[in-house]
Amino acid sequence: PHSIPSGTQGFFFNTRRDLFSDRRVRQALSHLFDFEWTNAALFHNAYTRNLSYFPNSRYASSGLPSEAELALLEPFKTQLPASVFNKEFGFEQSKGDGNIRKKMRAAMNLLKEAGWKLDGKQLIHTETDKPFEFEFIYRQAGLKRIILPFIKNLERVGIKANPRLVESAQYKARLDNFDFDMMTFVLSQGNAPSYEQRDYYHSDLVDVEGSFNYAGINNPAIDALIAQLLQVTSEREVITIMHALDRVLLNEHYIVPNWHIGVHRVAYWDRFERLTEPLPYKLGVENWWAK
């Protein structure tokens, strides 16, 4: 086991698209990713679902906000989802058997609130009559086995998602120009959060070609928290701000969170011994010795 921060890994919505501009729509689609089935059927239950943008780190939020976090969040209370303040973030868990009826009902309720209705087997918008259809791009062929079951679940509520495998150079070009509806990515995270959070989430970078604000995040609360993050001088303040930032990002549903693993996957010969307590941020084989 280790405490190396995992990246912000997920299926990224491009909120610049009208289709994904409504938080309820993004939340609905998040319900339809059946992590428990994916983990059991494809990953041998090796992974843990991400419930944070900063998994496996001290910057991951949990439970309800602390008083210090609330002090940061209260000025934006009218602009943020109520769940930021009064609900622990999480997803309805399935039994891992492919049956997600409860999650589908939750998704459909959100989609109806957002103005979508089922017409036969197709989800259409109540005002425009446009079908719910989008393209899901990816660049690693091995992801197909993960993406296709998710797309199948989307089909069950009338959503048509078209998967498209894109070669690496074209993939980068499309991301640089925000030419996608949904895609997969991992934003690197570390033990000393700083300006990279601005690169990932600040509104100033929404329209800057080649920026890392892939989701198109334009949120005053996030901008303010990042500004405070870049000014603080103590680790305690950094942790508090990161927890608050995490809560806002999660409850705005800018991505469908994926998974992480908090252990080193290695096999080693029993002629070697190692420290009883594992090192938090590295495997440390240079500190092993022969018996």
pLDDT category of residue 99 using cuts at 50, 70 and 90: very high
pLDDT category of residue 87 using cuts at 50, 70 and 90: very high
Domain assignment of residue 195, yes or no: yes
For position 7, what pLDDT does the model report?
97
Task: Record the pTM.
Answer: 0.96
Domain assignment of residue 149, yes or no: yes
For position 22, what pLDDT does the model report?
98
Domain count, the chain: 1
> What CATH number should be reported for the domain holding residue 279?
3.10.105.10
pLDDT category of residue 257 using cuts at 50, 70 and 90: very high
For position 220, what pLDDT does the model report?
98
- The closest of 5, 41, 76, 1 to 245, measured between CA atoms, is 76
Find the domain containing 199 and state its range.
8-116+140-157+185-290
Domain assignment of residue 276, yes or no: yes
Q: Are 240 and 72 in contact (CB under 8 A)?
A: yes
For position 265, what pLDDT does the model report?
93
For position 154, what pLDDT does the model report?
98
Task: Report the percentage of the chain scoring pLDDT > 90.
Answer: 98
For position 179, what pLDDT does the model report?
98
For position 256, what pLDDT does the model report?
98
Domain assignment of residue 128, yes or no: no
The answer for residues whose C-beta is within 8 angstroms of residue 213's C-beta and 6 or more apart is 199, 200, 201, 202, 203, 205, 206
Domain assignment of residue 57, yes or no: yes
Query: What would the pLDDT profile of 135-190 be if each residue is shown by its tens digit?
Result: 999 999 999 999 999 999 999 999 999 999 999 999 999 999 999 999 999 999 99
DSSP state of 84: H
CA distance 70 to 88: 14
Domain assignment of residue 175, yes or no: no
Q: For residue 63, with 0-12 CB atoms within 10 Å meaning exposed, 13-18 middle and 19 or more buried, which class applies? A: exposed
Domain assignment of residue 239, yes or no: yes
Angle, helices 101-113/23-31, rounded to nearest 10 degrees: 170
Domain assignment of residue 266, yes or no: yes
For position 12, what pLDDT does the model report?
98
